[in-house]
Chain A
Amino acid sequence: MAHENGMKPDDQVEPVLVSEPREWLLLTLRVIAFLATASATLVMALNKETKKLVVATIGSTPITATLTAKFQHSPAFVFFVIANANASFHNLLMIAVELGGRKFDHKGLRLLFVAVLDMLTVVLASSGDGAATFMADLGKRGNSHARWNKICDKFDHYCSQGGGALIASYVGLGLLTIISILSTMRLVRLKPLGYQRAPVP
């Protein structure tokens, strides 16, 4: 049908979406990214350390107080937990869409939604990582100009657990970037003239 004479350009054969093969690479990457972001969320959400510290010395008796370091004390870490929770939920949703969503292709917009949502999730996860990285750097080295002391020498377990969560989140972010690029390429490759020209069923 594509080679008939007198064919209008709008009747060109659009690539048929129904029989596209499952992209196993994309699915595998999404599973690993889901595991990475979910573990980052959990590890940071369970980050808490209590310690007895000497606060002051009166005469010759030291005064000790029990101090707790929790992740909720810093809004940057709260945002980090929320952003990674969103990213892992998005990965789960996209895995479900890949596995079982072939029927719900309304006007061919499924690929567009997947690509756009992937990009938005990458942006959200990267901002969560950025905020938590610089807050962790502030806790580790302090800021002498603002008279903010470092806290990692006293709460080393808190710091190392936070660092582990950050590393897992960076792995998830790298994978999410690759996934986003792959799904955008899939969208742009299949519909080079823009998504409006979707096949009408």
Chain B
Amino acid sequence: MTMTKACRRFITPFLRVLALGATATATAVMAMSHESTSVLNLTLEAKYSNTPAFRYFMIAEAIAGSYSILALLLSCKGLLSHLVLMMDMVISMLLCSSISAALAIAQVGKKGITHAGWAPICGQVPKFCDEVTGALIVGFIASALYLLLVLSSLHFPVSSLPMTTKP
């Protein structure tokens, strides 16, 4: 590793800032996804709150986003680095579970399951489908970033190395 010591110190916080941006974007895009269409004088409204999976996705991204802010503050001071590492693992687990659940339900919405008699809905609300797809892509990037963050926390420990760094 030929990176300088200064470069090493900033990789993990940089990844944290990226992850914060990704989770915030995913929350916002999912919260604002909305479309109404009328079929036979009946108004159908597609919102994220119709499905528990999308609600879980939004809540999980919001929790991860607010945790990112907290962890940024804590890791800049070098406090509680082991606790932050453990919480990073828990949050990455939460994010991956939420993106997977949202993907499962979105896949049913796009393709349907003929054996169960469930028809796809993306033909009727295409704009909603596109917005949800965008939110899921950003959510996937966020969970990948969190995994990278845990790996980089193990590789480049942020807490200042005692006694052995000679400037």
Contact = CB atoms under 8 A, between A and B. Distances in A.
Interface residues of B, number: 46
A127 B96 CA distance: 5
B119 A134 contact: no
B52 A131 contact: no
Interface string A172-201: 000001001100110110001111100000
Interface string A138-179: 110001011111010000000000000000000000000100
B85 A188 contact: yes
Contact of A149 (B117, B147, B156): B117
A92 interface: no
B146 to A, nearest CB: 9
Contacts of A194: 155-157, 161
Nearest to A146: B121
B89 A145 contact: no
Given A9-B164, A75-B107, A123-B93, A130 B98 contact: yes
A134 B56 contact: yes
A116 B50 contact: no
B64 interface: no
Interface stretch (B13-21, B27-35, B67-75, B108-116): B108-116
Interface of A: 9-10, 67-70, 73-76, 79, 112, 115-116, 119-120, 122-124, 126-135, 137-139, 143, 145-149, 151, 177, 180-181, 184-185, 187-188, 192-196
Interface of B: 1, 44-46, 50-53, 56, 82, 85-86, 89-90, 92-94, 96-101, 103-105, 107-109, 113, 115-119, 121, 147, 150-151, 154-157, 161, 163-164
